Structure 1
Amino acid sequence: MQHFFVTPDQVGDKEIWITGADVNHICNVLRMKIGEELKISDGNNQNYLCAVEEMTKESVRVKILETFCTDTESSCRIVLFQGLPKSDKMDWIVQKSVELGVSEIVPMATARAVVKLDEKKAKKKTERWQAVSESAAKQAGRGKIPEVKQVMGFSEALTYAGTLDHVLIPYELAEGMEETRRQFSSLRAGGSIGILIGPEGGFEVEEVGKAMELARAVPVTLGKRILRTETAGLFVLSVLSYLMEP
């Protein structure tokens, strides 16, 4: 069944109005018909089974057939701070992170990041990544669309990470899998967790120290093998999904 997101103000007592890019997708790409059913989420874990009632160039009106809540969100708020990777790797990271339950994604400019984005390029990239997040949220049947924040400098990202309950920084020089297990075991549902992931070249030693000082980040090892930037965050998200989801 096709899945779409709206904002709560688009939801009425008996009907929902769909606007924006989804109108073209419904009418011209999917070629949906009057009476055809679809699922709609309001971004607050409220879902609706609906049937198409009216279609115009500007909007699609659907009738609410059934209202139900969803339980697809993680029991904790997970924020992925991702060092800017090369090429289109960020698209893949956003897509898979959303599938694995991430709550927010913060693209992060670090010392060893090859990619350098000016304000205009950063804005355009963020819009693209947000669209990828929405598409992945639909595919995964999530009740919310994870927000992709504007690109942050490293210090700004650490300030934001410092507001979270726990911050982990996978680091290739960290040792002791037992300590990593202890850190993961200490995490509790209902809290907030930040994951700091470096770019292809990893973090500089000074950056790790700064993260520990400003964001109370705890360095952890992810095992004997060095993981790529596009793999490390997903590894941590997979572990958290296993530990936190009932």
Structure 2
Amino acid sequence: MHRFYVEPANINDGRVIIEGSDVNHIKNVLRLVSGDNIVICDGQGMDYYCIISEVTKEQVIADIDKKIECKAELNNKIYLFQGLPKKDKMELIVQKSVELGVYEIIPVVMNRTIVKIDNEKKELARINRWQTIADEASKQSRRGILPQVHRLVSYKEALNMAKEMDIVILPYEKATDMSYTRKVIDKIAIDQTIGIFIGPEGGFDELEIELAEEIGCKPITLGSRILRTETAGLAIMSMLIYNLEDK
């Protein structure tokens, strides 16, 4: 069944109003008409099974048949604190981490960050681009929410955000005990919030590790191989969803 995202404000009194580019897609590409069934997601974890009642030039109106909680979301909220990488690597990181179930992505300027975003206009353009990629990935993977890409933050700001979370983990190339990694992941309980810190191309410096440990962050290894920044976050995300999917 075809699935569309609609703002919660457009879901009222047993009806859904679809506007924007989806109208053309429904009318002229899918050629759906009154009486056809569709699924509407509100981007907040709820799915609405609907029957199209009216198709106009600017709107598609559908009546809600039933409402159920989307089953595509983990019970844990995962926040990815990603050290800002070079070139278009962030686009891949955003896309794949959303597919894997991340709740929010926070790009972070760290001591070894090479990329310089030196004005607000440039930063906003990049954030908007990454958000578009996140939205598209969410729709493709049939997520129940639209994960957000946060504004760029400093490492200090990131730590202040992370210290409020239940568990914070940091894959680190100098960590060596894989049994400790398994222990940390296995102990994560249902509904706990999880922060993941991933360094940029140059990794973390020793001061950053010390500061992270001060807020209770747990440095872990992902194995005996050194992973690229665009791979490390996806690796730990995969480990987490394997462990958390059925909790």
With structure 1 as the length reference, what TM-score do the two structures score?
0.91
- Give the aligned partner of residue 130 of structure 1: 131
Specify every segment of 5 or more residues in structure 1 that has no aligned partner in the other structure, as ranges.
none
String of CA shifts for 1:28-68, please: whole Å, max 9, x gaps.
Answer: 56554444432211123221122333344543322323322
Please state how far the C-alpha of 1:132 moved relative to its aligned partner: 1.3
1:90/1:28 Cα in 2 relative to 1: closer, same or farther (>3 Å)?
Answer: farther
Q: Whole-Å Cα distance in 2 between the matches of residues 36 and 106 of structure 1?
A: 39
1:111/1:28 Cα in 2 relative to 1: closer, same or farther (>3 Å)?
Answer: farther
Q: Whole-Å Cα distance in 1 between the matches of residues 130 and 120 of structure 2?
A: 15
String of CA shifts for 1:145-173, please: whole Å, max 9, x gaps.
Answer: 11111111111111111110111011101
- Give the aligned partner of residue 191 of structure 2: 190
The Cα RMSD (Å) is 1.9
Q: Whole-Å Cα distance in 1 between the matches of residues 28 and 114 of structure 2?
A: 40
Contact 2:177 2:221 in 1 (8 A): yes
- Give the aligned partner of residue 212 of structure 2: 211
Amino acid at match of 1:108: V
- Give the aligned partner of residue 122 of structure 2: 121
1:49/1:236 Cα in 2 relative to 1: closer, same or farther (>3 Å)?
Answer: same
Q: Whole-Å Cα distance in 2 between the matches of residues 29 and 157 of structure 1?
A: 43
Matched, 1:239 2:230: no
Specify every segment of 5 or more residues in structure 2 that has no aligned partner in the other structure, as ranges.
none
Q: Between Structure 1 and Structure 2, how many residues are aligned? A: 245
| SS of equivalent residue, structure 1 residue 111 | coil
1:148/1:34 Cα in 2 relative to 1: closer, same or farther (>3 Å)?
Answer: same
- Give the aligned partner of residue 141 of structure 1: 142
Q: Whole-Å Cα distance in 2 between the matches of residues 115 and 70 of structure 1?
A: 38
With structure 2 as the length reference, what TM-score do the two structures score?
0.91
Q: Whole-Å Cα distance in 1 between the matches of residues 159 and 237 of structure 2?
A: 19
In the TM superposition, 1:37-186 aligns within 5 A as 37-117=37-117, 118-186=119-187
| SS of equivalent residue, structure 1 residue 113 | coil
Amino acid at match of 2:190: A
1:30/1:181 Cα in 2 relative to 1: closer, same or farther (>3 Å)?
Answer: same
| SS of equivalent residue, structure 1 residue 73 | coil
